Structure 1
Amino acid sequence: MENPENQQQNFFQSATAKMFMVGMLTLVLLIPLEFVNNLIEERSIRQKEVIAETANKWGESVYFYGQVLKIPYKTFTETVSVNEKTKEVTKQITAAVEYAYFFPEKLKNNSKVTMVKPLNRGIYKSNVFKAKMNFEGSYTRPNFAINNIAEENILWDKASIVIKTTDMKSIKSQPDMVLGVNTYHFEPVQNDAADSVATLETRAVDVQALRDKGKLDFKFDIDYNGSHQVKIVPIGKTTEAKMTSNWHSPSFMGNWIPDEKNKQVSDNGFEAQWQVLHLNRPFSQQSFETLPDLRRYSFGVDFITPVDEYQQNQRASKYGFLVIGLTFLIFFLIQSVSKISIHIFQYCMIGLALVMFYTLLISITEHSSFTFAYLVAGSSVVTLISVYSVSILKNKKFPAFIGLALTVLYTFIYVIIQLEDYALLVGSVGLFFILASVMYFSRKIDWKN
């Protein structure tokens, strides 16, 4: 009868016990891997804080809503009072001034957005741009009759032009408007505390030609320093917009996007055109109450970074469990086939080397490109584990195979990280072939020993 101590010893030397211990070690190594993920997240948050601070100083998202014709008019309110003692009826008429807002008949915009050299603060970079926006269009004679306002009550000589736009410090040129044959300057207006955008308004403008001839043309130029986005509200009865930029990754946003035939995107930049008719929007060409908030009806471009360096590091770290598990599986299969004993401590050292890859990756990335950091970190870890394997496996054939397998695995993960639209597809197909390979090479192993 076999000694119970020998049975216990045989159990710990069995494939089942070794597989269990390797599996437990894989789970334990998720703890330092999670610390690495937290480090990447912390650095990513710090980068976002720096970008937000830089954008606040340079210029934030550009928003433009104008040019709106503002015309005051008189209203009269009649108040009737009755003296209870004498029954005398008294009528009092009170005059007040209200404002009507009219949008252009035609509005054309041509914007050129140039991404400038990223602003650096320490190791962090912030992408910013300069935007030159040119507008032209025309107004038609406002229809006050639609609201039963008599001609004599319209204060034509006190008309002005209003613009709603982004933060004042983003504006880098004097916004002047040529209306007819005259040029008018815009000045900032005190905003309501609840209004998050700035208001610019001219002094009284000459709209005699609009009153008499029924049409008045305008031109307007403005320059911005900005970041993130450029958005325009299509207030023209017919709005046409064109935007060109040297940025290669635009995200067209808002209620309207350009048709495929009206946009071209390449590695050198993009060009896009929009056309919005008044029939396409849920607001009218005039307002007799207040100037409506139309931010939700804007369109434009978000100058995104498709996958920044920290996002790439985060995506790489998500495959950490896969890399550790497959590497341990390769060593375990070699151990099972060759009958070479690998101690759990040696598995631990290999696992820590695999975790070290991600700390090397993020630290090198912050001072160079992700591709270069991935190459250096991957080569270092593959070399370290391959050399260490020579002392464990006592030959060069298996370490060479391990080095090749790790190289293929890291290359596969790099390709997935770089892909956007096909990442899930390529990853799923790759994992299927990895599983098929493991099943094939392990088919003849005697798991009873």
Structure 2
Amino acid sequence: MENQIQNQNEKNQGKFSFFQTTTAKLIMVGILTLVLLIPLNLVQDLITERSTRKVEATQQIASTWGENVMLMGPILKIPYKTTVETEVINEKTKQTTIQVQTYEENAYFFPTELNYSTKVDKVDKLKYGIYKAIVFKSKIATSGNFEKLDFEKLGIKPENILWNKASIIVKTTNLKSIKSELVVNFNNQQLTLETNNENDSHFDTLESTTFSLSNENKNNFNFTIDYNGSESIEFIPLGKTTTTAIDAIWNSPSFIGYFAPNDTTKKITANDFHADWKVINVNRPFAQQYTEKLPNLQQYSYGVRLIETADQYQQNERASKYGFLVIGLTFLIFFLIQTISKINIHIFQYTMIGLALVMFYTLLISITEHSSFSFAYIIAASAVIVMLLLYSISILKNKKISFFITAALALLYSFIFVIIQLEDYALLVGSIGLFLILGAVMYFSRKIDWSTN
């Protein structure tokens, strides 16, 4: 009986001694690190949810202030007569007669020269609850000319053209936020634009009153439209030669669309930017005149989007992606200190440390929504570092080691913050930083005798 009890005690001591080994503790800490990925993923879901709410709030602001601006025009619309001959057979006499029916259809012509000059003289951020959206006021001056119109390419006979029913068409995506009178100066005629009920799922259509057109001379035009808009301004290059200039009081433009601005004249400063485009007809895959219905040319638009280089949720998302790294390195610091100094740290204490590190991200998100990301990062990081400092002093009973851990955490959070702020060099700086961290770990762990654990 005594031998059985002794054998059982030896087995229990063997089991107990294994869980006290460095290897077992390392395994448990590794498993805990993987388990903490679950709350980290929940934090990332929270960021996505808040970001979606911001998009909805931005759309709500845009629906009241003014949406994205896209301008296409002017376009000359000229009706013409077309005839259709139909054979009609008399059932009684069996004689065939020809019935001629006349219809009125439209020909559309794009400008020969088209110049857009845009001034964005006010950019602001409107609030909807805790969210903000970029809005602006702009003035778009449009000028150019139509040279002699070529009806032969469309197969239209001169005698069928209704020159006295010509009109001007302008298409836009932001009709409700236009803040100026819509008058086109066409060959010294003042033509008022009015809403046309033409069915177009992509644009609202404005059309002038009809006028008589001469095809002998160059026909000049100019008009100006004031817009309230949000986020972006885009144009469609209808002219054989289309030039565009955009000046805006904003320092973070994103040039978008089918054509890029001229690099030689593009200028971005700390307060504003200037950009130019020049597009000729051979640069774009559509014709200069059409009959019946205009094609959808929205895919050939170009322009600028006014952006925040990294908005609060993008920065929070980038920060959360480094969560696994922060938790892993922090656990590694505690583990090395535990191994070198022979101080015992329970797995429950590791769990508390890990949860504190996860709480950093929820603090960061909530504070960012009411202040800047930088301020929120400093507050959240400071709160977590102070909490872990006090906790380390209580469990390690060594202020010197606790302050070393605090300094290491402060350095780690500073390193992550620098990476988040960088764009072009984030990967380079991050790789160098991780290489140096690995070197430090190798240096401090070089004297540990793993064979006895």
- Normalization by structure 2: what TM-score? 0.94
Match of 2:413 among 386, 404, 410: 410
Distance in 2 (CA, whole Å) between partners of 1:317 and 1:260 is 36
Once the two structures are superposed, residues 73-100 of structure 1 have per-residue CA deviations (whole angstroms, 9 ceiling, x without a partner) of: 1111222334466453322221111110
Amino acid at match of 1:168: L
CA deviation after TM superposition for structure 1 residue 115, in Å: 4.5
What residue is the counterpart of 1:170 in the other structure? 177
Bigger shift: residues 177-186 or 394-403: 394-403
Amino acid at match of 1:317: S
Superposition pairs of residues 291-370 of structure 1, within 5 angstroms = 291-370=294-373
What residue is the counterpart of 1:435 in the other structure? 438
Distance in 1 (CA, whole Å) between partners of 2:299 and 2:203 is 13
CA deviation after TM superposition for structure 1 residue 181, in Å: 1.2
Bigger shift: residues 358-367 or 326-335: 358-367
CA deviation after TM superposition for structure 1 residue 429, in Å: 2.0
Distance in 2 (CA, whole Å) between partners of 1:115 and 1:328 is 50
Superposition pairs of residues 9-158 of structure 1, within 5 angstroms = 9-83=16-90, 86-158=93-165
Once the two structures are superposed, residues 126-155 of structure 1 have per-residue CA deviations (whole angstroms, 9 ceiling, x without a partner) of: 111112100110111211123332222111
Amino acid at match of 1:381: V
Q: Is the 1:173–1:223 contact (alpha carbons within 8 Å) kept by the matching residues of 2? A: yes
Match of 2:208 among 186, 195, 202: 202
Match of 2:424 among 408, 421, 424: 421
What residue is the counterpart of 2:3 in the other structure? none
How many residues align? The count is 445
Q: Is the 1:340–1:393 contact (alpha carbons within 8 Å) kept by the matching residues of 2? A: yes
Once the two structures are superposed, residues 325-377 of structure 1 have per-residue CA deviations (whole angstroms, 9 ceiling, x without a partner) of: 11011011001101111122221221121111111111111111000010111
Structure 2 segments unaligned to the other structure (5+ residues):
1-6
Distance in 2 (CA, whole Å) between partners of 1:64 and 1:273 is 16
Bigger shift: residues 167-176 or 75-84: 75-84
Change over 3 Å in CA distance of 1:147–1:6 after alignment to 2:
closer
Distance in 1 (CA, whole Å) between partners of 2:91 and 2:368 is 87
SS of match in other structure, 2:124: coil
Distance in 2 (CA, whole Å) between partners of 1:25 and 1:77 is 81
SS of match in other structure, 2:391: helix
Distance in 2 (CA, whole Å) between partners of 1:360 and 1:56 is 32
CA deviation after TM superposition for structure 1 residue 167, in Å: 3.2
Distance in 2 (CA, whole Å) between partners of 1:418 and 1:332 is 30
What residue is the counterpart of 2:11 in the other structure? 4
Distance in 2 (CA, whole Å) between partners of 1:333 and 1:131 is 60
- Normalization by structure 1: what TM-score? 0.95
Distance in 2 (CA, whole Å) between partners of 1:146 and 1:311 is 52
Distance in 2 (CA, whole Å) between partners of 1:384 and 1:111 is 53
Distance in 2 (CA, whole Å) between partners of 1:28 and 1:386 is 23
Q: Is the 1:114–1:247 contact (alpha carbons within 8 Å) kept by the matching residues of 2? A: no
- 2:258 pairs with 1:251: no
CA deviation after TM superposition for structure 1 residue 7, in Å: 1.7
Structure 1 segments unaligned to the other structure (5+ residues):
none
Q: Is the 1:237–1:277 contact (alpha carbons within 8 Å) kept by the matching residues of 2? A: yes
Once the two structures are superposed, residues 202-244 of structure 1 have per-residue CA deviations (whole angstroms, 9 ceiling, x without a partner) of: 0112423xx23x2111111001111122110111111111001
Bigger shift: residues 78-87 or 98-107: 78-87
Q: Is the 1:161–1:202 contact (alpha carbons within 8 Å) kept by the matching residues of 2? A: yes
Distance in 1 (CA, whole Å) between partners of 2:177 and 2:441 is 59
Distance in 2 (CA, whole Å) between partners of 1:127 and 1:173 is 21
What residue is the counterpart of 2:4 in the other structure? none
Q: Is the 1:71–1:101 contact (alpha carbons within 8 Å) kept by the matching residues of 2? A: yes
